[in-house]
Structure 1
Amino acid sequence: MYTRFRQAIKNQEFLVTAEICPPKGGNPQHMVEMGTLLKNRVHAVNITDGSRAVMRMSSMAASVILLQQGIEPICQMACRDRNIIALQADLMGAYALGIRNVLALTGDPVKAGDHREAKSVFELESVRLLKLIQQLNHGLDFNEKTLPDEPLDLLAGAAVDPQCKSWSGLQSRFEKKITAGAQFFQSQMITDFEQLDKFMNQIAVGVDKPILAGIFLLKSAKNAEFIRKNVPGVLIPDELIKRLAEAPDPLQEGVKIAAEQVKLAQQLCQGVHLMAVRREDLIPEVLDLAGIPPVNSIT
């Protein structure tokens, strides 16, 4: 079964995805409003799963709510909070509810979030989760026993960090994720496009799985400094922070920077993954400024 996202991959279109956080409470109205604004501008919307170990609504439940509004989700699934039984149960449940795209993640450490006394599971990590999804797609459970009620057909994706300091570690993990069945990659926030170019030409060269560059909307110099300090692995150069600090309208400057980065990514890889925490409504403006047209309907 082809979804719009899967069809766009097959057609080798320039892919556009965006990230939305589920609500922190029982009312999904704001999430639905943001998703509706993005509906015809992105191929699919990522629903985070306890990102930064902050408690929010289940990514699966939030994905189903968006699906009911005609918005195609990519349901993130992290290993931090689930053992092997729960991971398989959620993957089967997600598929039965109509979810077709999953991003397999290890998950951020509990100490980074708002429930620091919670217990982590981490029975699997992202590579082994990808292998598990591949097995379920072939009609086998973790123990390689046949699923009596039909296999799944999930499109599994993975995260990648082209700015990783360990080049050999980056290459090893990327290759393992390809072998484990990753069908697409969404990157961490990219600010060093020379490094992305190097990654695409040295590690991802010859790989037929699309790489989507992570583009983050920086709202102000203070916002950029906070992210640089508190989000592991994020590299934000001083010149970007200076540019935001000196701008008469920092938020609009952030939109311009994001659009410039989308244009850079167009020359290097197969798509972009846009992150605009609590300002997802500005993503269409970023795309307009970058000259990215609305996405096509499935054909």
Structure 2
Amino acid sequence: MTLSNGSYTASSLLRSAIATNQFVITAEVMPPKGGNPSHMIDMAKTLQGRVHGVNITDGSRAVLRMSSLASAVLLKQAGIEPICQMTCRDRNRIALQADLMGANALGIHNVLALTGDPVKAGDHPKARSVFDLESVRLLRTIGVLNQGIDLNDKPLPDGPLDIFAGAAIDPQCKSWSGLTKRFERKVEAGAQFFQSQLISDFDCLEKFMTEVATPAQKPILAGIFLLKSAKNAAFLNRNVPGVHIPDDIINRLAKAESPLQEGIAIAAEQIKLAQTLCQGVHIMAIRREDLIPEILDRAGIAPVYGKQVANNGANKMVPSHQDLAMV
């Protein structure tokens, strides 16, 4: 597909699903802490056919891990559509623009623009933060690069980019006015989709959708977290700002014969709730990404496409019933 400015638009499962108002499923995978990406790739492969895109975190919680861009390229080579998270904490505007150009050239077109967690929260507290830009200005940067212009208002002689930009949102933010203004600024700056933080209060999500998000007509993907035990839930309450897992959920996990299976059931129930409120979900199952297909099955979510088979060295999708209905 060719844009009006002459640039090429890459084929994208995520972009197509959003454009056709499908219920969008994304999931999150962490890059390796070291040089061997095999576990990351194995976990991501369990999601093939079940999600529209796989997020690769970029120094989440300011903890050192492999480059999100390099990891995204590895997933793309394995036949998985990546969403490359890009934070402003560690790069100035020159480096951010350079990485966006590199991502575009390497076929990485989905980018989630983030400000980034403070370095003191991570494993290198003596590192120096950059924060030359923040998420809204990064979204605007993507917008001008897509128009073939850099941040100095100079034309890009080698062509515009084609980056599909997303942003983060927290519908449970205590400051309603702050939440509304931040969302509106991100929409104005060019965000095409939003992935939320972990949702535990679906009344808050409903209020956000009704009063703020729906009029903007941008897809919101509710953050669904796999809770593995009552201890895991209590840890999140203590250590993750803005997260409050209700006592009734913690009690369910504590009383369960198999806390992990109860966590899967809770996540599936939350996906069903999200289906009535927004256009998708973003699933986080840290270190147990292989359980996401089971969660989706229990929520009654059909595969987004059939199995992939080799076709002369290329990936070819075998349509599912859902795909055939759309042909």
Matched, 1:140 2:149: yes
Give the drift of 1:77.
0.1
Q: What's the CA shift for 1:97? A: 0.4
Structure 1 equivalent of residue 290 of structure 2: 281
Report the equivalent of 1:35: 44
Instruction: Give the aligned residue type for 1:97.
Output: L
In structure 1, the gaps of 5 or more residues are none
Partner of 2:206: 197
| Distance apart, 1:227 and its partner CA | 1.1
Q: Does the alignment pair 1:233 with 2:261?
A: no
TM-superposition CA deviations, 1:80-118 (whole Å, max 9, x none): 000011000100001100001000000001111111111
- Residue 26 of structure 1 deviates from its aligned partner by 0.5
Q: Distance in 2 between matches of 1:159 and 1:84?
A: 20
CA distance, structure 2, for counterparts of residue 199 and residue 244 of structure 1: 28
- For residue 112 of structure 2, the aligned residue among 76, 100, 103 is 103
Equivalent AA in structure 2 for residue 100 of structure 1:
H
- Please report the RMSD computed on the Cα atoms of aligned residues, expressed in angstroms: 0.9
Please point out which of 240, 243, 257 is paired with 2:266: 257
Which residue of 2 is the match for residue 176 of structure 1?
185
Counterpart of 2:41 in 1: which secondary structure? Answer: helix
Name the residue aligned to 2:3.
none
Pair 1:115-2:127 in alignment? no
Structure 1: distance between partners of 2:222 and 2:174 = 17
* 4+ aligned runs moved over 2 Å, structure 1: 296-299
Cα shift at 1:205: 2.3
Aligned-pair CA distance for 1:236: 1.0
Distance in 1 of aligned mates of 2:214 and 2:99:
34
CA distance in structure 2 between the partners assigned to 1:201 and 1:80 by the alignment: 32
3-state SS of 1:294 partner: coil
Q: Quick one: which amino acid aligns to residue 179 of structure 1?
A: E
Q: TM-score, normalised by structure 1?
A: 0.99
TM-score (norm 2): 0.90
Structure 2 CA distance for aligned equivalents of residues 205 and 283 of structure 1: 27
Report deviation, 1:71.
Answer: 0.1
Q: Report the identity percentage.
A: 69
CA radius of gyration, larger in: 2
Say if 2:76 is the partner of 1:67. Answer: yes
Equivalent residue number for residue 230 of structure 2: 221
2:17 to 8, 27, 35: 8
- Structure 1 distance, partners of 2:153, 2:246, is 47
* Count, aligned residues: 299
Letter of the aligned partner of 1:63 in structure 2? A
Which runs of no fewer than 5 residues in structure 2 stay unpaired?
1-8, 306-316, 318-322
Deviations along 1:150-205, whole A, 9 cap, x unmatched? 00010000000000000000000000000000000000000100110000000112
C-alpha distance in 2, partners of 1:197/1:11? 22
Aligned equivalents of 1:34, 1:40: Cα separation in 2: 13
For 1:199 and 1:184, how far apart are their aligned partners in 2? 15
